[in-house]
Structure 1
Amino acid sequence: MQTVLYDASFEGFFTAVFEIYEYRISQPDIQREGAAAVSLFGNTHTVHTDRNKAGRVIKKLQEKLYEDAFRQLYWSFLSAQPGIENTLFRYTRYALSSSQQITTDYSNADVLTIQQTAKKMGREKHRMEAFIRFQQTKDGLYYAVVSPDFNVLPLISRHFEERYADQRWLIYDTTRKYGIFYDLNTVSEVSIDFTTSPQDTAAIYDEKEALYQSLWQTYFNSTNITARKNMPLHIRHMPRRYWKYLTEKKPY
């Protein structure tokens, strides 16, 4: 087995796929740089991302797959689950070698894994879009700090760009140490040090932010009918791990 190292980008992955065919690597083990346990005496192929090579594979694959199936492939890549690159490679190889659509062949373990992983990503995307709550700083920036199970920031950027088109906002993923920033024109990825103390955080809030949060909590509590409270159902639709994002779940 030969380790194939790439830079963790989507184009880097498809460059790796191209070079596996180009160099006829028969038993590839695709790993992200920095995450692979590579033996000093092992056989390693290092990939340098090439947009032309990646584009050729992507174009061919898009010809073979329905649009929704290629979306599932991309979402599965973003999940960054252990071993997902090798699953994606086998899926890609199966698609390219088949004369028929493979996307509903759930007897194939890789097709089934991609479909299940994309579903998990879809649920996380939906929950982030529903549960993110912004806070306003003194300079008019709306920001939210999140730590989703998967890397869903690329998937939710359009939702927030369309919904908050007239506001500058930042959503920062503390797990993956990067964020998406909207400057009223475009969304871009940013890497910043977002480690602040409670005193520092309080100092950057807009003076009306505490009032807005209090009003929202009051509204939420006033519409919550105690006699109809169903906590198991509530938790099923709003798992506890998301409560830390919600203004209405903070101490009132």
Structure 2
Amino acid sequence: MHVFICENTPNGILTGVYDAWELKIQERCSHADIYLVSGQPDNYELFCDYHTVAPSAEKAGKVVSTLNRKLGHDFYETILTAILSIDLSGKKKMDKANAVYQTIVAALHSPKGARVLDSLSNPYIYRVFELSRATASEAHHLKGFLRFSELQNGVLFSTIHPKNNVLPILAEHFTDRFPQENFMIYDETHQLAAVHRAGKNYMLVDASDINTELLQNYSENEARFQKLWLAFFDSIAIEARTNPELQAQNIPKRFWKDAVELRHFCE
């Protein structure tokens, strides 16, 4: 058995897919004899060859190109959203990196091609479906719940606390929506930020040392509009029909601290 230890990032896992496939060709072994792990394994087993994967943008790019060319962009999007999942149950179920690898193998070797994603009886494909759905669902929620505030320098800023690494999905979405705006989305959970300059593409940067105090310096217009919005929110509320359970269904409580009108409920 060959075990590939990959960095838990899209580049890391896709590089692992590239290296694993290359080794399979060189040593003429079976794909079943290959296992990918995202992050360091809990235990090392006897009679296994361990390979540490060095992330390579070039190798990952080749895998992305192959998936898009042979299986289509929708298939690639499913794989990417599965990789971006935090995979909290990874220790109990198969590792997401291996599920991704075996799903790609199944798709490239089947006459169904990308349609193998419908074969949910396959445990690898079902695992990818499960992970992809979790990430896509959270990204969909945040596309609607994410709130930008205007800082004194005119930059639109937002803080999010997602479970999964949905920042690349949100950054691409809001780049399409606000191409001529300067904005930043700060993922406090994963200490990452998406920075977008007007007319440019976004960049993902390490935000572990971000100065959060400076990001509270709102413009005069922003402070005024927040007060107006809160006044409107309070004025349309009907106290006799308060329904916290329904409110939590419409906007899950974990999003409340990032919403101006609900933030005070979390304080």
Contact 2:151 2:215 in 1 (8 A): no
- Alpha-carbon deviation of 1:39? 4.8
Is the CA contact 2:86–2:163 (under 8 Å) kept in the aligned structure 1? Answer: no
1:88 to 100, 118, 137: 100
Q: Deviations over 1:73-130 (max 9, x none)?
A: 1111111413210111111121122122312111112222222322222221111111
Percent of matched pairs sharing the same residue: 26
Q: What does residue 18 of structure 2 align with?
A: 18
Q: Which runs of 5+ in 2 are unaligned?
A: none
User: Runs of 5+ in structure 1 lacking a partner?
Assistant: none
CA contact under 8 A between 1:60 and 1:96: conserved in structure 2?
A: no
Is it true that 1:110 corresponds to 2:124 in the alignment?
yes
Q: How many residues align?
A: 248
Q: Cα–Cα, structure 1 residues 196 and 48, in superposed 2: closer, same or farther, change >3 Å?
A: closer
What residue is the counterpart of 2:210 in the other structure? 194
State whether structure 2 residue 110 is matched by structure 1 residue 98: yes
The correspondence for 2:159, drawn from 121, 137, 145, is 145
1:211 aligns with 2:224: yes
* Structure 1: distance between partners of 2:63 and 2:173: 29
Aligned to 2:244: 231
Hey, what's the Cα distance between the residues in 1 that align with 2:261 and 2:69? Answer: 47
In the alignment, does 2:5 pair up with 1:5?
yes
SS in 2 for 1:184: coil
Deviation at 1:181, TM superposition (A): 0.9
| SS of aligned partner of 1:3 | strand
Q: Secondary structure at the match of 1:45?
A: strand
The answer as to whether partners of 1:3 and 1:38 remain within 8 angstroms in 2 is: no
Name the structure 2 match of 1:78.
84
Distance 1:177 1:65, change over 3 A: same
SS at match of 2:131: helix
SS of the equivalent of 1:73 reads helix
Secondary structure of 1:209 counterpart: helix
Q: Match of 2:144?
A: 130
Q: Deviations over 1:220-240 (max 9, x none)?
A: 122233444433222112111
Q: TM-score, normalised by structure 1?
A: 0.84
CA distance in 1, matches of 2:72, 2:86: 23
Offset of residue 215 of structure 1: 1.0
TM-score normalized with structure 2 length: 0.80
1:38–1:209 CA distance, 2 compared to 1 (3 A):
same
Partner Cα distance (1:144, 1:138) in 2: 14
**RMSD of aligned Cα (Å):** 2.8
Alpha-carbon spacing, 1:36–1:177, altered in 2? closer, same or farther (3 Å): farther
Change (3 A) 1:188 1:54: closer
Matches within 5 A, 1:32-43: 32=38, 35-37=40-42, 39=44, 43=49
CA contact (8 A) 2:161 2:189 kept: yes
> Which residue is equivalent to 2:54?
48
